[in-house]
């Protein structure tokens, strides 16, 4: 179905020279992977930091906006998923992904902490777990465009990993704009690294690079959503803050191990 939405390898190499917006310099080492993200919905809810703190490794201080922590559920689909120097192969380079995340910071570098990442490609799931220490899960997923809406469904295959389902449709409702520094929209989207821990509790940072986010206001109609509950998160109450982005190209580096194990409870 994704092939009917998008064509072949059209990754924008020009992003590598578009760096003035970054909060810190590009990593010195070579990047190892490309991805193009399409039809993204950013659905965000404020969550009490006291409820969120026990669910995030203690080595990572929660990053807050005006005192509030946030949880995001982000459905989208990808193309151009390929290692550097390797052509994007049709069966493994394009698939949907749905992630659940919050925001942390360490050593002055705000980033993303993932509770889960569901993907519609089992090979990609195994590779991401091995290479990046990220909590990927295989899911049965469908994405289509219908009358201006992105219609999206995802159901995690392994019940032992939590009963995780999402189904609904979403669309943009406003003009494209780049979020200004200091705004909530900027806080939630303009992040250039990911944080995770391995099975031994060692913290890692994974650097990424992309252009500034082109965002639009959005609307969402939800049929099912158990993504928060499947991750042990508190109930996400109220109307979410919604943004849409049509496309984003990115590159990623291998994770870098950071210092000692995540012991103790940092302020935050």
Domain boundaries, the chain: 2-7+36-254
Burial label, 110 (beta-carbon count in 10 A; 0-12, 13-18, 19+): middle
Amino acid 266: pLDDT: 36
The answer to whether the beta carbons of residues 174 and 217 sit under 8 Å apart is: yes
Cα–Cα dist 177/173, whole Å: 12
Strand ranges for 126-260 from DSSP E: 136-146, 149-156, 165-172, 193-197, 203-209, 216-225, 241-252, 256-257
Amino acid 206: pLDDT: 97
C-alpha distances (whole Å) from 112 to each of 5, 52, 96, 163, 196 are: 28, 14, 19, 23, 9
- CA angle, residues 210, 216, 222, in degrees to nearest 5: 105
Cα–Cα dist 150/181, whole Å: 28
The model's pTM is: 0.92
If you compute the radius of gyration of the chain from its CA atoms, what whole number of angstroms results? 17
Cα–Cα dist 28/36, whole Å: 22
CATH C-level class of 2-7+36-254? mainly beta
Amino acid 240: pLDDT: 98
Amino acid 260: pLDDT: 55
Q: Provide the 8-state DSSP code for 58.
A: T
Cα–Cα dist 69/56, whole Å: 12
The pLDDT profile of the chain, 268 residues, written as one tens digit per residue, is 443 344 457 899 999 999 999 999 999 999 999 999 999 999 999 999 999 999 999 999 999 999 999 999 999 999 999 999 888 777 789 999 999 999 999 999 999 999 999 999 999 999 889 888 899 999 999 999 999 999 999 999 987 777 899 999 999 999 999 999 999 999 999 999 999 999 899 999 999 999 999 999 999 999 999 999 999 998 898 999 999 999 999 999 999 999 854 433 333 4
Closest among 165, 181, 190, 38 to 112, alpha carbons compared: 190
Q: Which residues are within 8 A (CB) of 2 and not within 5 positions of it... i.e. 6 or more apart?
A: 77, 79, 94, 95, 96, 143
């Amino acid at each position: 179905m994704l092939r009917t939405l998008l064509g072949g390898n059209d990754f924008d190499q020009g992003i590598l020279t578009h760096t003035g917006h970054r909060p810190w310099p590009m990593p010195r080492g070579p990047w190892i992977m490309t991805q193009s993200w399409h039809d993204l919905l950013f659905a965000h809810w404020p969550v009490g930091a006291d409820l969120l703190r026990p669910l995030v490794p203690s080595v990572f201080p929660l990053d807050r906006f005006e005192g509030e922590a946030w949880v995001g559920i982000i459905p989208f689909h990808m193309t151009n998923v390929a290692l550097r120097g390797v052509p994007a192969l049709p069966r493994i380079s394009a698939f949907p992904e749905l992630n659940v995340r919050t925001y942390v910071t360490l050593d002055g570098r705000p980033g993303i902490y993932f509770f889960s990442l569901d993907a519609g490609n089992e090979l990609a799931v195994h590779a991401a777990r091995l290479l990046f220490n990220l909590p990927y899960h295989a899911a049965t997923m469908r994405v289509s465009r219908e009358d201006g809406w992105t219609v999206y469904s995802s159901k995690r295959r392994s019940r032992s990993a939590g009963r995780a389902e999402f189904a609904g449709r979403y669309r943009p409702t406003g003009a494209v704009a780049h979020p200004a520094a200091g705004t909530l929209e900027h806080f939630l989207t303009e992040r250039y690294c990911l944080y995770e821990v391995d099975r031994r509790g060692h913290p890692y940072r994974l650097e990424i690079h992309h252009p500034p986010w082109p965002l639009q206001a959005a609307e969402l109609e939800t049929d099912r959503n158990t993504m928060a509950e499947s991750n042990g998160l508190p109930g996400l109450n109220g109307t979410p803050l919604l943004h849409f982005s049509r496309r984003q190209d990115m590159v990623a580096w291998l994770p870098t191990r950071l210092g000692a194990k995540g012991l103790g409870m940092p302020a935050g």
